[in-house]
Structures are given as C-alpha cells and as structure tokens.
A and B are shown apart, each in its own frame.
Chain A
Amino acid sequence: MMDSSVKIINEWDIVAARQLGRNVAKELGFGTVDQARITTAISELARNIYLYAGQGEITIEKIESGTKKGMTIISRDAGPGIPDLRKVMEDGFSTSGGLGAGLPGVKRLMDEFSIESTPGEGTLIQSVKWLK
C-alpha cells in the first residue's frame, strides 16, 4: 500500500495536505465533487491540528476492500486531546466558528469516520471515502 504524509505545523501545511489528498483522489478517479469533499475534509482536520494541537500529521492512504477502492485520511496529533467527544460531534457546537464546520462536517463529507482521543495524549481521527 502506498501512503504519504504531511506534517502540519503552520497554516501553509494545510494547503500541502489538501494538494496531497487531491492528487490521490484524482489518481483513484474521484469526480470533481468528491475531490472537493475530500479536500474540504482534509482542510478541516488539518485546521483542527493547526488550531488546537499546535502540530501533527495528515496521512493519506489508498485502500482496497474486495472490489471497492477508496482512500483513508488519517489525522494524528499529540495535542491536549478532546475531553468530551460527544460534545465535539454535536451539530452546532463548533468552536472555530462557521456553520457546519468541525468534525460533524468531516463525518458528513466522508463515508466512514472514527475518532480516538485521550486528554493529555492526543487525538487520532480516521475517515474513509469509497469510490462509487
């Protein structure tokens, strides 16, 4: 499996992560709408790292399952973690302002979504988009 990562330290790294995601999405044959959805999800995740964790990493993986093809976005940081996961997954809670943004937005844009977070240790988010 090919995979590649972008370290997120400053705001410009968000652009690099988007670019990486878009290239992979294009290669896999995602249409323009799905490309935009995938890059928006990457943007949100990278922005969260930049704003709340200080630094972290976005990894893009191509995946296969039976005849299905798709990609996984992995967001990993060693930031303060999220004390109340249920709250951040609630609509209308986003603290970074902006309607519909935040993790619920990412979940909606992608097909699969999982999150693990330990206060004081960091957060790991994995989300998958399948090619239809």
Chain B
Amino acid sequence: MSFRDTMLDEYKEILKTYINDQTEQALYMSQKFSRKSIEYKISPEEMISLHKTSIMELAPDLPESLLLSLDILLEVMMSYGLAYREHQSLRTIQRELINEIEVAANMQQTLLGTQIPHISSVDIGAISVPAKQMSGDYYHFVSHENGAVSVAIADIIGKGIPAALCMSMIKYSMDSMPENSHTPGDVLERLNRVVEQNVDPTMFITMFSGLYNPGNHTFYYSSAGHEPGFYYNGETGAFEELKAKGLLLGVDKKAKYREYERKVEVGDAILLMSDGVTECRTKDGFIEIDTLVGYIEKYIHLGAQDIADKVYKELEFLQDFQLRDDFTLIIIKRTA
C-alpha cells in the first residue's frame, strides 16, 4: 500500500494522539509525517483537506465556523502550493544545469590540455586551478622544431562559461598560428586582431607570451597587459620583475607589442603567473608580492613542478582554501 492510501489513517492517528494528551511525541510524529508527505508530493491544499476530513471524523460536533474557516485556509494555501511546485521544477532544472556545466568543465579540461615540454637543461613546471568549475585562466606550451619552447599564459576578464568559450577561440587561433611566426610579439599582435574582431566589447584578455631558446639560453617575451612575471637570479638569490609594456588584447586592433629578452644562466628561473596569484585576498587583506616571492624563495631549490605545487598549497592555506580567482603558475628553471 502506498503512502497516499494510508496517509489519512496515519494523520488521523497523530491528530487523535495529540488531542487526547498533548505529547511532544505526537508533534514529532507530525514532523515525520510532513517529511513523508513532501516526499510523496502531497500539496499544501491536499494537506488542509486531509486535516478537515480527519477532524470532522474525530470531532463531529465542531462548530460550523471552524470548519468553514478551513475552506479559506485551503484557498489561501493554493498559491503556496503553486509556488512550491514551481520550486520543485526549478530545482530539477538547476540540477540539469549543474550537470551540463560539469560536462562542459571536463570538456574544457580536455580541450585546453597542453603538454609540458621536456627539453634537456631546462626544467618546466605548471599548475592551474580554477576558482569555479570553469577556468578563466589559460596556459599553453608549444615545442618548436629548432628546440625552442613557446609559452603563453592568459587571463580572460570575466569568469565562468563566457570566459571559457572565449578561451576556446584563443586556443584555436594559437593552434592555427604558422610555425614561422612564434616570436612573442607576433603571437600577441595576431591574437589581438582576432580578439578585437570576435569578442564582446566588454570582454578582454591579458596575455603573457614567451619563447625560451635553449640554443642561447635566452628568454624572449612580450606582454599584453598581463601581470609581470619574475626572473630569479640563482647566483644572487634576487627576484626581479619581468617588466613589459603592452595593452590588453581586444582594446585597440592596431596595438603593437614590444619584445624583451633576458639571458638565463644555470640555476636561474623564470616565473609566470595569472593575476589570480597577486590578486588573491586573505581575511587580513591582500597577499603582497613579497609574500609570494618569499614562498617561491622557500622552495626554489626544488624541481620546477614541486615549486609550483608547493607555492599553490601555501597560498591556498592563506586563503582558507577558498579560491576567489583562478590560479595559474608556471616555472621555467635552467638546470644545466
């Protein structure tokens, strides 16, 4: 027998118990009853009707006025019932949306997947953690025939699904870039034209583009409004900002991107990051660049991937494990 068939008897029993001796037990039973009636989708107006039927059987001499009052209560509960049913259906829709986003997030991971290149004498590590399901950060490595490695790190302004869609576009224009045009300035100029034409005017992208040439151990780089990276001098232990001037992608289609270079010695490192790293907040305020540098310093003797992982762990801890922005950190360390 289903709940619908037995609920009148169950309810009458609870009501009778309570009318006879007002125990907490009966009240608890009614709480349990309401859980069950919600589970079986009994609407509020049905509950009022159930109540009226029960009380008429249990106490036949109730004044007419009291019974009539239940008609008003039933009518009033109609709108509550409708609101409740709408809520149920919206919950279903919400669950579907969450599932779709999960699928999309997995697709994004596959779509944007990039292999960290292995080249002799250089150790590369990278970590990227989204704040929400879909990341607005993007990084990409390309190994060239001459042994050089291109690296790009980008932050889409605007988060979530729109940013993710925008990123797929960036990814495809990067992939279709001709092999002979991988100097950092070129890459940015090409992408800037793509973004300027195709992206919503309120959406912008910052990008740092670099090229490591193991032939002369020089790092060439350009920036489109991106957070400057750091150069670590292994000999002196000093950190230096990789300052580079350049406008955000997508603001001015004629923007030019200057190229900079930095010689890298054995033991030196290049650190690139998204602004989620420098913009991350703790309950006491912002994380200062010095704090970040301190963490990197603490782990700089480790392998590149270990440094990235450990620094992330420290920042995660500082923020009480609640990331407010996407986080990406790339370490390029010359080992020989």
Please say whether chains A and B are actual partners in one complex: yes
Chain A residues with CB under 8 Å of chain B are: 31-33, 36-37, 40, 91-92, 98-101, 104-105, 108-109
The reply to whether B79 and A101 contact each other, CB–CB distance below 8 Å, is yes
Say how far B307's CB is from chain A's closest CB, in angstroms: 48
* Residue B45 lies at the interface, judged by CB distance under 8 Å to chain A: yes
* Residues of A contacting B84 in the complex (Cβ-Cβ under 8 angstroms): 100
Instruction: Report the minimal beta-carbon distance from B78 to chain A, rounded to whole angstroms.
Output: 5
Mask, B49-80, CB within 8 Å of A = 1, is 10010000000000000000001001100110
Cβ–Cβ < 8 Å partners of A104 in chain B: 86, 89
CB-CB < 8 A to B87: which residues of A? 99-100
Q: When the two chains form their complex, are residues A31 and B49 in contact, meaning their CB atoms are under 8 A apart?
A: yes
Question: How many residues in B have their beta carbons less than 8 Å from beta carbons of A?
Answer: 19
Kindly provide the distance from the CB of A32 to the nearest chain B CB, expressed in whole angstroms.
6
Against A, the Cβ 8 Å flags (1 = close, 0 = not) of B83-95 are 1111101100100
Total inter-chain residue pairs, C-beta < 8 Å = 49
Given A32-B71, A33-B45, answer yes or no on A99-B78 (Cβ-Cβ < 8 Å).
no
Shortest B93–chain A CB gap in Å is: 7
Task: Contact check, A33 vs B86: say whether CB atoms are below 8 A apart.
Answer: no
- Whether A32 pairs with B49 at a CB distance below 8 angstroms is yes
| CB < 8 Å neighbour of A105 from B45, B52, B71, B86 | B86
A100 near B74 with CB under 8 A, answer: no
Task: Enumerate chain A residues within 8 angstroms of B83, measured Cβ to Cβ.
Answer: 98-100
Chain A residues near B52 (CB-CB < 8 A): 32
Q: Which residues of A contact B97 (CB under 8 A)?
A: none
A36 is contacted by which of B74, B85, B93 (Cβ under 8 Å)? B74
Does B8 belong to the interface (CB within 8 Å)?
A: no
User: B309 an interface residue at 8 Å Cβ cutoff?
Assistant: no
Which B residues touch A109, using CB under 8 A? 82
Least CB separation from A33: chain B residue: B49
A100 and B82 contact, Cβ closer than 8 Å, known pairs A91-B93, A92-B90:
yes
Task: Answer whether residue B46 sits at the interface, using C-beta atoms and an 8 A cutoff.
Answer: yes
- A108 in contact with B49 (CB, 8 Å): no
Instruction: Report the Cα distance A108→B90, complex, angstroms.
Output: 14
Of the listed residues B75, B78, B84, the one surrounded by the most CB atoms of chain A closer than 10 A to its CB is B78
In the bound complex, residues from chain A placing their C-beta under 8 Å from that of B82 are 40, 99-101, 105, 108-109
Most buried by A among B46, B86, B87: B86
